[in-house]
A = this chain, B = another copy of it.
Amino acid sequence: MAQNIYDKPDFFAGYSRLGRSVRGLEGAPEWPTLRAMLPTMRGLRVLDLGCGFGWFCRWAREAGASSVLGLDLSDKMLARARAETADQAIGYAIADLEHLSLPDGSFDLAYSSLAFHYVEDAARLFASIQRALVPGGRLVFSTEHPVYMAPTKPGWTVTDDGRKSWPVDRYFVEGPRTTDWLSPGVVKHHRTIGTTLNLLIEARFRIDRVVEFCPSAAQIAQAPALAEEIERPMFLLVAAQR
């Protein structure tokens, strides 16, 4: 089973205070970019893998989706998602992305925000999603970028002249990375971009768009701390079609 870090009290408390938890989708700088990669939502049966508090599920319904199923490993997150959702066409269920079990051909869109990097077996995950989609169905997801995740010491190096750089090493050493983010001992699974894309292709997805997220000039003007995101990629966004 995947590590359920979200149900740890310290992690949950920290996560609940993040901009993206307090302000929802609009609190995530990569959301406008990811949204632009989504198909028109009207009439779609939508699956949200790692739905957290259900922000995207509710947005999808407001945008016209006919039904939304949100899956998450965290009891606590689903409890809050349910409490904040008053829509019979949105359902929530506990599920481990390592062992998805979904009815064949039952979704038009599978979406996931920053959950796949917790999954060890991406080949099995992509195959499960492929079967759960109808032919022509879409998969749109964000995940931590491997350049961000690879290093032994994932943090900025500042040189004497004040330049910030990101010390990439172990890029080709795929596998677990343990970091202290909100809580000690958070385990993520590092895969190169090549591995992620080839696993999608091998699962019979067509790659439609690959975006390494960088905030816009307008976003940086509004939140100057985002400027450092120009130096190295933090998130990888992919749109694919079954």
A173 to chain B, nearest CB (A): 7
The chain B residue sitting closest to A240, CB to CB, is B207
> What number of copies of this chain does the assembly contain?
2
Question: Is A233 touching B192 in the complex (CB atoms < 8 A)?
Answer: yes
What count of chain A residues pass the 8 Å CB interface test? 36
Kindly state the separation between the CA atoms of A107 and B101 in the bound complex, as whole angstroms. 45
A209 at the interface (CB under 8 A from B): yes
Question: Is A197 touching B192 in the complex (CB atoms < 8 A)?
Answer: no
Q: Given A167-B165, A168-B166, A169-B164, decide whether A210 and B197 contact each other with a Cβ distance below 8 A.
A: yes
Question: Is B167 touching A157 in the complex (CB atoms < 8 A)?
Answer: yes
From B169, B194, B231, A171 is in contact (CB under 8 Å) with B231
A121 at the interface (CB under 8 A from B): no
A241 to chain B, nearest CB (A): 11
Contact with B along A54-89 (1 / 0, CB 8 A): 000000000000000000000000000000000000
Contact with B along A156-181 (1 / 0, CB 8 A): 01010001111111111100000000
Chain B contacts for A207, CB-based, 8 A: 197, 201, 206-207
Chain B contacts for A192, CB-based, 8 A: 212, 233
Question: Is A151 touching B165 in the complex (CB atoms < 8 A)?
Answer: yes
The chain B residue sitting closest to A233, CB to CB, is B171
Q: Given A210-B194, A233-B192, decide whether A169 and B166 contact each other with a Cβ distance below 8 A.
A: yes
Q: Given A207-B207, A210-B194, decide whether A233 and B172 contact each other with a Cβ distance below 8 A.
A: yes
Chain B contacts for A231, CB-based, 8 A: 168-172
Chain B contacts for A159, CB-based, 8 A: 167
Residues of A within 8 A of B (CB): 147, 151-153, 157, 159, 163-173, 192-194, 197-198, 201, 206-212, 214, 229-233
